[in-house]
Amino acid sequence: MRAILVVDMQEDFCPPNGSLAVEDGREITALINSLLPLFPVRLATQDWHPTDHVSFASNHAGKEPFVDFTTIINPENPEEKIETRLWPDHCVQGSPGAALIPELDTSLIQDYVKKGTHPQCETYSAFCSPFRKPRGFGDTGLARKLRDQGVDEVWVVGLAADYCVQSTAVDAAKEGFPTFIIEEGTKAVDPSEWEATGRMAVVEAGVKVVSIEGEEVKSIGWKQD
Ligand code: VGL
Ligand code: ZN
């Protein structure tokens, strides 16, 4: 059974008002809506942060969003530390910026996954935190949810290509699902970096990055009109 994960199509990631707007982020929505009916399992994710979230530059005196980093520590193993980028406040739980954009056809979405809810942990992936020693802190239950529904193939679209789409797709592949990203169904925070390194990292993890015009999408029944 095929699943589509629509990642973080939220106001804060979209122009014109998003605090962390991805250029042209809204423009992929029509394509996503047209893809949804091709998948029996259709889930949407939401970045869903408390106000004291560790990824907000505003919670670190003297630090700037986009350029500065902070260190997060695995609550289950203080020796594991990860440097993570700081952002403007975004996707605060229950705020207008955390809402899914109204253009997304949510009548076709069956279930929602919220991530980034732990104040001290950045979580780009819709599966779990980036900690690996041990792996699994902040498990959202997504892998289990997919398996319980008999999913055996995962397709990922949404925002942003170089952060949550990338991490979600890599984790889906690590969970053992054949995994695809549809290139035209995503946009990057930093498109040049995505071209230069992100796409390759994803492919190295076993994810197939495919074009809407390619054979793979044709084979699941998509027809251009
Ligand atoms: C994301 C930056 C911070 C994303 C989430 O959805 O790609 N990016 N939080
Ligand atoms: Zn976030």
Percentage of the chain with pLDDT > 90?
95
* Confidence (pTM): 0.97
- Give a yes or no: residue 213 inside a domain: yes
Residue at 105 is within a domain: yes
Compute the distance between CA of residue 187 and CA of residue 213 in angstroms, rounded to an integer: 17
What's the confidence (pLDDT) of residue 194? 96
CA angle 24, 115, 144 (to 5 degrees): 115
Residue-wise pLDDT for 72-112, tens only, equals 999 999 999 999 999 999 999 999 999 999 999 999 999 99
- Residue 172 has which token pair? 């889906």
Q: Is residue 200 domain-resident?
A: yes
Q: Based on the residue annotation, tell me whether 8 is a catalytic residue of this protein.
A: yes
CA nearest ligand 1 atom 8, residue: 163
Q: Which of 12, 14, 91, 115 is catalytic?
A: 115
Q: Which residues contact 159 (CB under 8 A, 6 or more apart)?
A: 7, 8, 9, 10, 13, 14, 22, 25, 28, 165, 186, 187
Q: What is the structure's pLDDT at 125? A: 97
For residue 135, what pLDDT is reported? 82
pLDDT bin (cut points 50, 70, 90) of residue 225 is: low
Atom number, ligand 1, closest to the C-alpha of residue 8: 6
> Hey, how many other C-beta atoms are within 10 angstroms of the C-beta on 52?
10
Q: Which domain holds residue 41?
A: 2-52+89-218
- Choose which residue among 5, 6, 7, 8 to substitute to test ligand 1 binding: the one with the highest number of ligand atoms within 8 A of its C-beta: 8
Is the distance from the beta carbon of residue 9 to the nearest atom of ligand 1 less than 6 Å?
A: no
Residue 59 covered by a domain: no
Band (pLDDT 50/70/90 cuts) for residue 49 is: very high
Print the SS3 string covering the chain. Answer: CEEEEEECCEHHHCCCCCCCCCCCHHHHHHHHHHHHHHCCEEEEEEECECCCCCCEHHHCCCCCCCCCEEEEEECCEEEEEEEEECECCCCECCCHHHCECCCCCHHHCCEEEEECCCCCCCCCCCCCCCCECCECCCCCCHHHHHHHCCCCEEEEEEECHHHHHHHHHHHHHHCCCCEEEEEEEEECCCHHHHHHHHHHHHHHCCCEEECCCCHHHHHCCCCCC
Q: Is 224's pLDDT higher than 80?
A: no
pLDDT in tens, 158-177: 999 999 999 999 999 999 99
Question: What is the chain's mean pLDDT, rounded?
Answer: 96
Number of domains in the chain: 1
Task: Judge whether 119 lies within some domain.
Answer: yes
What pLDDT does 137 receive?
85
Evaluate whether residue 80 is within a structural domain.
no
115-162: pLDDT as tens digits: 999 999 999 999 998 998 988 788 999 999 999 999 999 999 999 999
Check whether 180 has a pLDDT greater than 90: yes
Q: How many CA atoms lie within 13 A of 85 on its CB side?
A: 11
Mean local confidence (pLDDT), 3-9:
98
Residue 93 belongs to some domain of the structure: yes
Q: Has residue 84 been placed in a domain?
A: no
Residue 135: CATH number of its domain: 3.40.50.850
